[in-house]
Structure formats: C-alpha cells, structure tokens
Chain A
C-alpha cells in the first residue's frame, strides 16, 4: 500500500447541504410538518445513495420553532440518523440564520477543500425575532455569502419579502408550496440540483435543473 495514504485525508471533498426548516407551531396544520419530515428524509436517503459523484454530500438541518437549533449536525448523508422534527412555538428565523452562518464560517466543520455549500430555507410564516441583522451578517460574511441559496414559501402566510431577501438575487426565485405534497416536489428538485452538481465536472458551478420542468421528476 502506498505510504501516501498516511499523509492524505481519508474522505472525499464534502458538498454541504444545509436545510433551514421552519418548525413553528403553524407547521403542524394541514400535514405540513409531516410532509416536510418525509421530504427531507427522502432527500437525505437519495444523497446517501449518491456514490458516483465527485463529492461526498454532507447534510445539516437547522430548525427554528420555539428555539433555533441544529437538528442534524453537518454529517455525511450516509451517516445521518434521521429523527422527525416536531412543530412547536414561534418563528426565530434570525437565530437560525446565525447558526447557519456560524456553521459555514467554521473551517473545521466546512473546510476550504469543500465545494460551495447549498442552503435551503423553508418557511410558512413571518420571523418573530430580529432577522435583518443575522441575514445581513450571512450575506456579508466571507464564506456563507458564497453559498447557493434556495427558498420555499409554504402556504399563503409565508413572508415572500423575507425569502427574497434571503436569496439576495434579482433573478432568484422563491418557490411556493400551496399544499403539503408540493413540499416534497420542491425537495425532489433540490435533490436533483445538488446531485447534478455533485456529478458535474465543476461541482462549484450551479447546474441548471429547470424548476418549471419539475413535474418530470415528480411522481404525481
């Protein structure tokens, strides 16, 4: 065996995917939290089976409902032990933004040899804490600002201005889910997008998976 193995890292380059999930009390209505749980679990399972990529997909899930917390620490998808999230309390999105910025800025957890992270924000309401400062911190940070960002608004009460501010991209699109099954559809699209990046010659570049054609990938 080559001696080089002693001097090199043992893992592939990580491609981090960070889900920011609104699990406030309102998500308990209309099966939204159940749909979100199964959609995220399905996405993680798909990433875990992704073995022909140029990268190893790592997943973290930051939740905001009552408190903000890391429900799943950044881990290779194949090692995630998924436990369903529970809807509860108000919507401290600002605190969750800080958790995500701290995570991406931490060179131990997201090393410089990683590919650019993807951050997925899902919310069905208005933040009830101070979120502008934490969002400005994320968008002004050295590394978190470079993350590829997706946003999904669930139901009529989602604050699209906040989600648009999170994207910080005039051409960025806030996706909408009017019913629970569309949450799954969105995460199937995220899965396609990230998997395409992982398999592409240039995983740091965004791969266009046309969201308008998402029905091609869905099963309904």
Chain B
C-alpha cells in the first residue's frame, strides 16, 4: 500500500442471515501493487442460492482484473476493465452459473499517479469526499426502484449500466464504498458527516482495533428492523500525500 493511502473496512452478516444460519452474502477486498491501491465491495443477491460465492468471486475478479489492466494513465478505456471483471467473475464461479451467484460490484482503484477510477454495477454506493469538502456520489438506489431491486453481475444488464467516474490526481480525499444494507439507511443529508466520521474518528484508530470497532458498529446498526448484511470499505489519502 502506498504510504499516501490507508485502506480499511469491515463486513458483517445482517440479522436475517444470522437468524437463518446463512453465510455473509457481502464481501470486500483490498489490494495494493504496481497497479496502485484497490478497494472493492460486493453484495450477493439474497434471492440467489450461491450469493455469497458470487460476492467473493466478484472481489477476486476485480483484484485480478486490475493486475491485467494498463491503467487510465495509459489512456485505457475503463470499459475494458469492466469487461475483464465480467469475464473473470464468470471464470471464478465455474462450474456454478452466473445466475445462481448474482452479485453487485463496486470498486475504486487509486493509480500510482493519483488518478482514482470509481466503478460499479448495482445499488452499492460510492462517495468521494474531496479535500475542499465537495462530495461526489455514485451508484446507490435508483429513484425508480424499491429496495432489493438491483442490477448485478449475473442479471441481465448492459455495459453502460455500470457507473464509471475518474477523479484527477489529488490528495486528502476519502472514498467510501458501501453495500445497500448500509447505503439505504444513511440519511442523505448526513452523508458528508458519515464520511467524515469514517475518515476522522474510525480512521485514526490503530488497524486491529479499528477493524473490531467497525465490525461492532455494523453489528449494532441503529435502524429499527434492519435485516441486511452490511459492508463498508474506506480508502483515505493523506493530506498533501501525492506520491
């Protein structure tokens, strides 16, 4: 991991899967290497029999895809990266079918030159808090849908259903990815405060204790009757920390 970047996150089973003895159907991953720093969150669709497999496979597919991709600094088209993820995900699943493993997928790649590529399919949420306080939001619940309706790997979709954004090199940014179990319950007017809490309160805790604290926060989720698995992943740049 670049010294200019800190990546952390946590994922917990929701009350529904705990009660029914099922695995966490969310997954998250981080990875660092010559390609830069990567963070991903994926949410297997609860109605599919191998949703947990699909979510973990999506994280693995993203990790493999970024190693193959030449990077936006080389002017590569991000849709090629998306196609790689789609193909590698299917290979990861084999012999299971895509349909039984459907999963949303959201990830952010901070390239060595400081470009950040933010990509997703489905109702996962990505938020970038820039150093000047501006907030960029991608994904989340579409306005025409109700909860539990989402596009995903393994459901019919087109390449342009993926949301893609590129942030130019900068520093002091915080990027948060969250599955819908978290994103749907965040008050939109409090989104900036939520990101700042993750960056400034949670982010300052030592790594081992931080993971436990974040797990506990997700388990003690304060919204009545919540049921979903919950996953948050954070990529935080140091202020003035351009490589």
Contact with A along B191-210 (1 / 0, CB 8 A): 10110010001000000000
Q: Which of B143, B186, B190, B191 contacts A112 (CB 8 A)?
A: B143
How many residues from A make CB contacts under 8 Å with B?
31
- Report whether B225 and A56 are in contact in the complex, using a CB–CB cutoff of 8 Å: yes
Q: Which of B184, B201, B222 contacts A13 (CB 8 A)?
A: B184
- Report whether A115 and B147 are in contact in the complex, using a CB–CB cutoff of 8 Å: yes
Given A112-B145, A202-B148, do A7 and B187 touch, yes or no (CB 8 Å)? Answer: yes
B156 at the A/B interface (Cβ < 8 Å)?
Answer: no
Given A7-B194, A12-B224, A56-B225, do A112 and B187 touch, yes or no (CB 8 Å)? Answer: no
- Report whether A12 and B141 are in contact in the complex, using a CB–CB cutoff of 8 Å: no
- Report whether A13 and B147 are in contact in the complex, using a CB–CB cutoff of 8 Å: yes
Q: B46's closest neighbor in chain A, by CB?
A: A202
- Report whether A142 and B144 are in contact in the complex, using a CB–CB cutoff of 8 Å: yes
How many residues from B make CB contacts under 8 Å with A?
32
**CA separation between A116 and B185, bound complex, in Å?**
17
Inter-chain contacts of A178 with B (CB < 8 A): none
Q: Which of A56, A116, A201, A205 has the most CB of B within 10 A?
A: A201
Inter-chain contacts of A205 with B (CB < 8 A): 47
A8 at the A/B interface (Cβ < 8 Å)?
Answer: yes
A143 at the A/B interface (Cβ < 8 Å)?
Answer: yes
CB distance from A57 to the nearest CB of B (A): 11
B: which residues have CB within 8 A of A? 16, 20, 46-47, 141-149, 184-187, 190-191, 193-194, 197, 201, 217, 220-227
**Given A8-B222, A9-B223, A204-B148, list of 13 further CB < 8 A pairs?**
A4-B220, A8-B187, A8-B190, A10-B224, A12-B224, A56-B224, A112-B147, A113-B141, A115-B146, A115-B148, A116-B149, A143-B146, A201-B20
A: which residues have CB within 8 A of B? 2-13, 53-56, 107, 112-117, 142-143, 146, 201-205
